[in-house]
Structure 1
Amino acid sequence: MGTDETPISSRSGIDWAGYQHAALLFYVHDSEPSTAGTPSATHAAVVDIVVLDGEREGTKLHDVTVPRVIESQLKSRRGGMVLGRLYQAGSKDNQQAPFILNAADEAAKALARACLARNHEGLF
């Protein structure tokens, strides 16, 4: 089944393509200053993730700083959980398409309910 992975570099340390189409359960626990280095730098969402299905089912990722588009989807959920499926959006010319979190389908919701029931405490 799954493993625990703790990424070294939050933004660039995870191969997000390896999680594409997987149902992911995020716990948005805080924010940290962005590494942009500009005076107007924002705070990046820091999350823990449980992979609910796919090749990496059961994997837990801790203290992850997510890609910017996903960050914008999660930032209002600080202290809460978010469920969705990871996809790659359309790309512009000569640019890599960003990863996005799509709304969870019924299968993902059922997986999340089962996961939460099994792991009432200590999921993250």
Structure 2
Amino acid sequence: MRRFFTPRWVLGHTLALAGVAVCLFAGRWQYQRATAGNVLSWAYTVQWPLFALFVVFLWVRAIRDARGGSTPRAAPQPLRPPLRPPVSRAPAAPAVSDEDDPELAQYNRMLAWLAADPDRRPSDFPG
């Protein structure tokens, strides 16, 4: 409990209380304007106290987080087994001979060379 009385926390307590006081004061001011005939101020009369409650909510949450929060919840169990990578069922490409298209055959040899040695670049291909 002593850690909440350090200068930083005391400043935080003071700012939270000041925030609540300002919101409640603004709500009272809007109520006075609303009773004087300003119809729009009725909405602000309700809104400012809600802001004060929000300040309190955030400050309580900050204190709870600093204390360690609530007990940790268990991780949810998976509902289904992990997915396996899909099996490729694509038909094999037909073999292309050098007589059909020599440029394509050279390109395929370069691709095979790159697949065998992934650290190399296409410009390093000896063919």
TM-score, normalised relative to structure 2: 0.18
Which of the two has greater strand per residue?
Answer: 1
Which of the two has greater helix per residue?
Answer: 2
Bigger Rg over Cα: 2
Q: Greater relative contact order: 1 or 2 (C-alpha under 8 angstroms, separation 6 or more)?
A: 1
TM-score, normalised relative to structure 1: 0.19
